[in-house]
Structure 1
Amino acid sequence: MSFLSVVAAISLVSLCHAGTVHISDCMRTNNQRNPENLVHVNTASANPFPVVIPGDVDIVGNLDLYKNLTGQLSMSVSIKRKVLGLWVPVPCVSNVGSCQYADLCDMLSSNFMENGVPNCPPQLVAEGLPCTCPIPAGHYAINHGHFTIPELSGVWSFLAKGDYQLRATLTDKSRNAQVACHSMDLSIGSKCSFFDCLFG
């Protein structure tokens, strides 16, 4: 599974909490759309929650893309983990964590293009969803997203059991203008041992 596939699955999962959406569009004021806004997530849910790694998760959700998604977009991701009651930033290590990505479309292409042809994850193909630029404006929904998240090790180990706050922003580099911002909460669990499962 590629880096972006794992990030996409975890990001989609992070949009929800036991059936209740816990995502905030930080470009909206009084629930009114900012005219600069490129994308807005409407609803999302996951089962199970907290997410168990390794394990399977079913994801349902939809979003609106207000303008064509093309080049000139940079992405900033901030991840904080709750440690002893404090929110501690997760550093960027090997492009994982609180990182800056200079070109979103290039990142999508490097992960999902093969011999010049899009090679999207099967979950997106089944829903008719694109995974490389350009992505036309429109309403996009995932209705039967079943993902298997593998056991994480090495640089992925920061995604161990815990509570996280994530914030992702997109910037139009041609105008140096923020065009998307979402913040979200995520809880990750782990498979329980025999006694943990019995006694919770």
Structure 2
Amino acid sequence: MVGAGLVLALCALQLCPAALGGSHRLSKFGGFAWENCGDKRDPVVLQSLSVAPDPISIPGNLRVSAAVSSSKAMASPLKAVLVVEKALGDLWIQLPCIDQLGSCTYNDVCTILDNLIPPGTTCPEPLLTYGIPCHCPFKAGSYSLPASDFILPDMELPSWMTNGNYRVRATVSNGGEELACVKLAFSLQSQ
């Protein structure tokens, strides 16, 4: 099973390309926020990202809109590094990588995408409708995802990945070159 952190990283990559960029501050505690954290020369930039409801409910419906621009094609191997922290009182604790959940490194995101959506398979909605690719390589350009609804299934998350406030830093690189860096802050609520 692909972890929630990887889903966020893939979103930051280009599965939700419209979701990358901006200068929103992550100081908001207990609510959704995002910002680009990479070098100003990073080729992939999140332009906008909105997520509702806040907090995110699992299971439940998630409405996402996003925009991303990429000045460079992204090809295999794409490496994604996630640092996931959870608030415990006033402290932020980095979560370890356990069963591909938490602060993990994914050395070949393109292969993971191919395992989720086999090559030759049509990209799922709403990606197909809005011309958002779901396989490597990703062409340079601008991608936009208007407000779209996704169903978050009842996932068996470990107790340390349920209710609470989280911060995620997702960095994507190829051959040691940073392509994108995005920070997210959000709250999860399990039902």
TM-score with structure 1 length normalisation?
0.77
Task: Give the length in aligned residue pairs.
Answer: 177
Distance in 2, matches of 1:3 and 1:104, equals 11
Quick one: which of 27, 39, 53 aligns to 1:48?
Answer: 53
Match of 1:107 in 2: 112
User: How much identity, in percent, do the aligned residues show?
Assistant: 25
Match of 2:2 in 1: 3
Distance in 2, matches of 1:121 and 1:65, equals 21
Distance in 1, matches of 2:32 and 2:188, equals 16
Distance in 1, matches of 2:110 and 2:9, equals 19
Match of 1:143 in 2: 146
Task: Give ranges in structure 2 of 5+ residues lacking alignment.
Answer: none
Q: Which protein is richer in helix relative to its size?
A: 1
Quick one: which of 23, 43, 51 aligns to 2:34?
Answer: 23
Distance in 1, matches of 2:138 and 2:113, equals 11
Task: Give ranges in structure 1 of 5+ residues lacking alignment.
Answer: 192-200
CA contact (8 A) 1:9 1:147 kept: no
SS state at 2:136 partner:
coil
Deviation larger for 2-11 or 137-146 = 2-11
Aligned partner letter, 1:138: G
CA contact (8 A) 2:32 2:185 kept: no
CA contact (8 A) 1:9 1:149 kept: no
Counterparts in 2 of 1:5 and 1:121: CA distance versus 1, 3 Å: farther
Whether 1:126 aligns to 2:125 is no
Match of 1:185 in 2: 185
SS state at 2:126 partner:
helix
Could you give the per-residue CA deviations for residues 51-71 of structure 1, whole angstroms, max 9, x where no partner exists? 111110111111101111111
Match of 1:198 in 2: none
Quick one: which of 72, 83, 87 aligns to 2:92?
Answer: 87
Aligned partner letter, 2:145: I
Could you give the per-residue CA deviations for residues 74-129 of structure 1, whole angstroms, max 9, x where no partner exists? 1111100001221111111111111011112122112211xx31343322123221
Shift of 1:140: 0.5
Distance in 2, matches of 1:5 and 1:68, equals 25
Distance in 2, matches of 1:147 and 1:5, equals 13
Counterparts in 2 of 1:5 and 1:119: CA distance versus 1, 3 Å: farther
CA contact (8 A) 1:79 1:89 kept: yes
Whether 1:165 aligns to 2:172 is no
Distance in 1, matches of 2:67 and 2:141, equals 11
TM-score with structure 2 length normalisation?
0.80
SS state at 1:125 partner:
coil
